[in-house]
Structure 1
């Protein structure tokens, strides 16, 4: 009998889970800021295509995103797991990660999502004034209370991520890491406080064998465009000389492989086995284009050439 998505989620980020998962894509998107029918269509399409995990946050869409996802989950129990993040208010600002505040937001998320337990709960930010051990204790307490199944963090500095991995490892938990990760490396100053999985972060990920959810894995459409595009009226953080050269190489290889440049870029991301690319597809056609990356097997030479040009 086939495994259900939630059965697979029990070992989702383990080596066994990677072998049995239909695919490693995670679905994000403008949940709560779009018509409910659009959300339902996209979630159903993603689930039917073998998707396992949808990603959102307690702060997205002014606090409406979780409820929008929850509306579909209530009508389709067990078809998709859910990852959500806490630590931002509804304007996107960081909040103190006290135990009481985190538990309050998690209880609210459970109600919004209509689930008994959140499959992956992430700190959306760090709280540098608090010891890592305290923040780790809160995460473990959430698991022990049955509120969440897996825990992790997004946008932590490499040294703090390393400390957390060690703290949670002593408690028999392996955290999930969540950072921007794609073939296009953004200009850090333009990410507005969010962090790219740079060499220091990737070093921690490898050392502690952490699964990595790579958000903006399509670099906000960089590889599908021919020029820059502002994001919320601000410069495109992916419009750099190196990234424009990578886009050209993706186009060249796409012609050779009979594919699309953005699909080649996603295949580059999938080449990294511990990475789970999060795609912010807004249509079912965009989901299908993303999933085509599974059919492209890149060589080590192609992977190196796409990034470095040599």
Structure 2
């Protein structure tokens, strides 16, 4: 029987192994900043390939992204679960995470998406001026109000994430974490305030057994290209000497396996239990290339070699 994401998603977020009919990829993309037909083609292709979850934000595409995803969800109810984020305005700037404002944005998101319940809601940022307990109360209140099923946070410092996880786990809610995570470790000075899942964050994730959405799981196309490039007119945060060496090793292994370097890099991410790689393909062909990563079995020695060159 076809899987139902609304039946499977919550349980699978807490499992390391999944049914072969589904997969751990999360679909992102330029929803709201492209023709609706392009978004619909990828969403349909992703769902048909066993996808469970599409990811967006209340702020993406200057506030248009949720409505663009919602247009497809209304025509395909129950086909994909949805994760969205609150905490940025439509320019991408952080906003205060007061309870009333967060609830207002969540209610607006429900209308934009055309769903009764949001499957995963994430704080897009922290609000360090507020106690973690207050921010946890707001998330629990959203669950108790029936607005969301799962909650979590993106781009929080490790110590604050640890406090939030303890608050929520103590109340029966295992939060979802969302950070940059890939074989390529970015230059933090070039990530413009977003955070990479460094060793401190990963320690928190392991301690509390948190599912982790790993955005930019293919390093914004770094492994698919050669040479120096810019991203959105700025220096590529992944273009470092260490990452160029990792890319060379991916190309070497891809040649041996009859694959592509970006697929090998994504397979490295998939070999980390509990990580849900977020992909941002522009075409259905790029979705298929990402799905190929499931077919690549990498030994522990190869995983270490890809990362560390030894």
Query: What is the distance in 2 between the residues matched to 1:279 and 1:171?
Result: 31
For the 8 Å contact 1:156–1:195, the answer to whether it is kept is yes
Task: Please name the residue that 2:28 is paired with.
Answer: 28
Q: Deviations over 1:200-252 (max 9, x none)?
A: 00010001100000000000000000023212211000000000000000000
Query: What is the distance in 2 between the residues matched to 1:192 and 1:152?
Result: 21
Q: Deviations over 1:139-170 (max 9, x none)?
A: 00000000000000000000000000100011
Query: What is the distance in 2 between the residues matched to 1:102 and 1:21?
Result: 35
Counterparts in 2 of 1:199 and 1:246: CA distance versus 1, 3 Å: same
Query: What is the distance in 2 between the residues matched to 1:28 and 1:90?
Result: 17
Q: Give the superposed CA RMSD.
A: 1.0
Report the Cα offset of residue 84 of structure 1.
0.2
Task: Please name the residue that 1:229 is paired with.
Answer: 229
For the 8 Å contact 1:8–1:17, the answer to whether it is kept is no
Task: Please name the residue that 1:205 is paired with.
Answer: 205
Runs of 5+ unmatched residues, structure 1: none
For the 8 Å contact 2:117–2:149, the answer to whether it is kept is yes
Query: What is the distance in 2 between the residues matched to 1:67 and 1:8?
Result: 24
For the 8 Å contact 2:16–2:274, the answer to whether it is kept is no
Query: What is the distance in 2 between the residues matched to 1:145 and 1:299?
Result: 45
Q: Deviations over 1:84-111 (max 9, x none)?
A: 0000000000000000000000000000
Task: Please name the residue that 2:175 is paired with.
Answer: 175
Q: SS where residue 230 of structure 2 aligns? A: coil
Counterparts in 2 of 1:75 and 1:10: CA distance versus 1, 3 Å: same
Question: TM (normalized to structure 1)?
Answer: 0.98
Report the Cα offset of residue 13 of structure 1.
0.4
Query: What is the distance in 2 between the residues matched to 1:112 and 1:203?
Result: 36
Instruction: Map 1:115-154 to 2 at 5 A.
Output: 115-154=115-154
Report the Cα offset of residue 9 of structure 1.
1.4
Runs of 5+ unmatched residues, structure 2: none
Task: Please name the residue that 1:102 is paired with.
Answer: 102
Task: Please name the residue that 1:259 is paired with.
Answer: 259
Question: TM (normalized to structure 2)?
Answer: 0.98
- Runs of 4+, deviation exceeding 3 Å: 16-21
Query: What is the distance in 2 between the residues matched to 1:19 and 1:76?
Result: 22
Task: Please name the residue that 1:273 is paired with.
Answer: 273
Task: Please name the residue that 2:18 is paired with.
Answer: 18
Report the Cα offset of residue 15 of structure 1.
1.4
For the 8 Å contact 2:281–2:287, the answer to whether it is kept is yes
Q: Deviations over 1:173-201 (max 9, x none)?
A: 00000000000000001000000000000
Query: What is the distance in 1 between the residues matched to 2:109 and 2:20?
Result: 28
Query: What is the distance in 1 between the residues matched to 2:205 and 2:91?
Result: 30
Q: SS where residue 14 of structure 1 aligns? A: coil
Instruction: Map 1:54-73 to 2 at 5 A.
Output: 54-73=54-73
Counterparts in 2 of 1:70 and 1:188: CA distance versus 1, 3 Å: same
Q: Would you say how many aligned residue pairs link Structure 1 and Structure 2?
A: 310
